[in-house]
Amino acid sequence: MSASPTRTLVCCVCGQPTRGRQHWNRDAGYGVCAEHGQQTADREGEAVALSYYGERGIHWDVEGSTFSREQKLTLIFRHTHRDYKSGKGADRAILIFRNGTSLVPLDALTDEEIAKELPYALSKEVERKTKAKTLS
Ligand SMILES: [Zn+2]
């Protein structure tokens, strides 16, 4: 079971991306981030967290489960339509509405802009992975 690769999931509490493995008790594409799994464990006990989210270290709170700013930017860039982005690597930029549409380097995105762009990218990412899994 632990051999299957981790995937991007949506934390069912905060809606942020997290790495983990699908647990049968969660909707497809949903899991829990380390912080909110821990919160459930603290409030209701490890056994309850286990029944909700699966095993810690297997389904949630796996190594590298927390998304860095860079990982979030990569996710946003990947799911931005090709007409609204340009560049590669350090030169990546996307069109953002800042009193008019401007091409903004990924590194220059504010936390607010990342928070605004992320849900769409995350839903596309999870949709893509869920589809790929159904087809294989
Ligand atoms: Zn969370």
Where are the domains positioned within the chain? 7-53, 69-135
Q: Per-residue pLDDT tens for 96-117?
A: 999 899 999 999 999 999 999 9
Tokens 């069912």 label which residue? Answer: 12
Which residues surround the ion ligand 1 when the cut-off is CB under 5 Å? 11, 13-14, 33, 36
CA of 88 to the centre of ligand 1 (A): 30
Torsion 104-108-113-119 (CA) sign = positive
CA of 83 to the centre of ligand 1 (A): 32
CA of 99 to the centre of ligand 1 (A): 32
CA of 3 to the centre of ligand 1 (A): 24
* 93 pLDDT above the threshold of 70: yes
Predicted confidence band at 127 (pLDDT cuts at 50, 70, 90)?
confident
* Exposed/middle/buried for residue 112 (C-beta within 10 Å: 0-12, 13-18, 19+): exposed
CA of 40 to the centre of ligand 1 (A): 11
CA of 31 to the centre of ligand 1 (A): 9
Which is higher by pLDDT, 90 or 72? 72
Decide if 124 contacts 2 (C-beta within 8 A). Answer: no
Query: How many helices, marked H, and strands, marked E, lie in the chain?
Result: 4, 6
